Amino acid sequence: MKRLDELVRELPPELQQEVYDYAQFLHEKRAQPKRKGKLRLTWAGALREYRDRYTSLDLQRKALEWWSD
């Protein structure tokens, strides 16, 4: 199997530039710091009125149904 630099050297100049641009994109994407914010639970308790109507098993089955569609 050829090394990356050997493969790139065999490409025409315009494709070498594409490889360079893509590699630069990947590098910048990885170098960006991840956002670290606090988890907001503003939705907590929003479904309280449905507590007596549905069980967790009902919700799991419904979720599986939605995923299989």
pTM of the model: 0.44
Residue 62 inside a domain? The answer is no
Residue 13 inside a domain? The answer is yes
- pLDDT digits over 13-59, tens only? 999 999 999 999 999 888 877 777 888 888 888 888 888 998 889 98
At residue 19, the pLDDT reads 95
Answer positive or negative: Cα dihedral of 20, 21, 22, 28: positive
Q: Could you tell me the end-to-end alpha-carbon distance of the chain, in angstroms, rounded to an integer? A: 42
Give the C-alpha distances (Å, rounded to integers) separating 20 from 7, 25, 27, 61, 64. Answer: 12, 9, 10, 48, 43
Residue 47 inside a domain? The answer is no
Domain that holds residue 20: 1-32
At residue 51, the pLDDT reads 86
Residue 49 inside a domain? The answer is no
**26: closest CA among 4, 53, 10?**
4
DSSP secondary structure code for residue 46 in this structure: T
When divided into structural domains, the chain yields a total of 1
